[in-house]
Homo-oligomer: A and B are copies of this chain.
Amino acid sequence: MRNNNVSIIGAGLIGSLLGIYLRKKGLEVGLYEKRSDLRDKNNVPEGRSINMALSDRGWKALDRIGLREKVSPMALPMYGRSIHDEHGETSFLPYGKENQAIYSISRRDFNELLINEAESAGVNVFFDHLCEEIDISKTSLRFSYADGQKFSKESDVIIGADGAYSSLRDAMQKQTRLNYKQEYISHGYKELTIPATADGEFAMDPKALHIWPRGMFMLIALPNPDKTFTCTLFLPFEGEKVCFDKINDKSDLESVFRTFFNDAFELMPNLTDEFFNNPTSSLINVECFPWQKNKSLLIGDACHAMVPFFGQGMNCGFEDCFILDELIEKFGTTSWELVFEKFQKIRKPDTDAISQMARDNFVEMRDSVANPKFIIRKKIEAKLHELYPHEWVPLYTMVTFSDMKYSDAYAQGRLQNEIMDKVMSDPRITQNYKDINYEEIIHLIETARMV
């Protein structure tokens, strides 16, 4: 039995990377994308992209196929959060140690590079192929083109890397006993831009991720190589206070921006046009199980779409590819069902954990980072990590600057959180935090770990 023909649905970041991995294993790989080729310059972006923040797990997956050098020039390091208060004052909160950074990268540029790499590796990439129907028991697919023509294909293996609205998952939902859950958060987002200054420079510090935390809502900005910033505004769709539903004209919009984001507003000459022309997108969390049926598998957002607030969606999807590739390495390309079963079993607790952490982090980003006690808390944790680099690793560091299992990071994070809650409960902590007995805290965490 032939077993080397793999169809990947979706030529986004995850599908393209996976295509390269599998092709390098000697497999015949077809990569099917419903959209047009984004390398075609007539293909205008939709204005709904949040910049990606590439971190350690993502780099590790790129290293596996030697892509770090090609990707580096398009990735800008951000060493911490630059927090903007309502008066335009900023404070800098490092993400980790001195040289640790997450890297801002344009989704489109990155995707173009990966598609080029996939093609060079010998992956057959097909655009304008809408996957209309999948028969999971036969691993057969039917596509339709923009002109209405249909095309059928049989495959040995089908992998759905087709995102939060996956067609393969749809098929599984109808053809198998799939447990499935989708939840929208109450907030939506809109892409905006801060252009380069008149003399062609960055309008703000390009070595930081900028945040304007305003309690129930926030604005963020990530730098691009062309000296612009891609901004994302997160607001509730509807409500009593500031929300998308209540911004209906230029004057509503300016009033919100002048009140809450005045320093950013001064840097956004195209705000009105962008706000009213770019779509308002929603944010979904998807969980399902099993991810596998026979020789079909879901990967990336298709089985675990998460909210973007930990910057891990892409990194987690890349790590999916890495782990899947390791399993194929171990068990070969003839035991797909075994590989897929192992994959979902290993991976599900980790993707559940990062999805939950991503939801938790929304509160941290939009609210807590504006709180002086939170900043002290972060400082204490950074000091603990400096003094006891193995005994105390901040949650952000475990997730972003390591490849430990997300579920372990989550569990450790919870233990540390409980202890930090105790530390912070001292009413005089704002004055006393420099004289804390760090050894005692380490003793507490070690005891907690033994329980």
Contact B184 A177 (CB under 8 A): yes
Cα–Cα distance between A182 and B173 once the two chains are bound (Å): 9
In the bound complex, how far is the Cα of B392 from the Cα of A163, in angstroms?
52
Q: In the bound complex, how far is the Cα of B182 from the Cα of A282, in angstroms?
A: 21
Q: Would you give the shortest CB distance from A235 to chain B, in whole angstroms?
A: 14
Residues of B close to A173: CB separation below 8 A = 182
- The one of B174, B177, B178, B182 in contact with A179, judged by C-beta atoms closer than 8 angstroms, is B182
Chain B residues within 8 Å of A180, by CB: 180-182
Tallying the copies of this chain within the complex gives 2
Nearest opposing residue in chain B for A186, CB measure: B177
**A165 sits at the interface (CB 8 A):** yes
* Chain B nearest Cβ from A133, distance in angstroms: 13
Task: Report Cα–Cα, A182/B178, bound state, in Å.
Answer: 8
CB closest chain-B residue, reference A170: B170
A183 an interface residue at 8 Å Cβ cutoff? yes
Contacting residue for A177 out of B165, B177, B178, B282, CB 8 A: B282
Chain A stretch 141-194: residues in CB contact (< 8 A) with chain B? 165, 173-174, 177-184
A136 to chain B minimum Cβ distance, whole angstroms, is 15
Residues of B near A183 (CB, < 8 A) are 179
State how many angstroms separate the Cβ of A75 from the closest Cβ of chain B: 32
**Is B178 in contact with A174, judged by CB distance below 8 angstroms?**
no
16 contacts between A and B (CB under 8 A): A165-B174, A173-B182, A177-B184, A177-B237, A177-B282, A177-B284, A178-B182, A178-B184, A179-B182, A179-B183, A179-B184, A180-B180, A180-B181, A180-B182, A181-B181, A181-B182
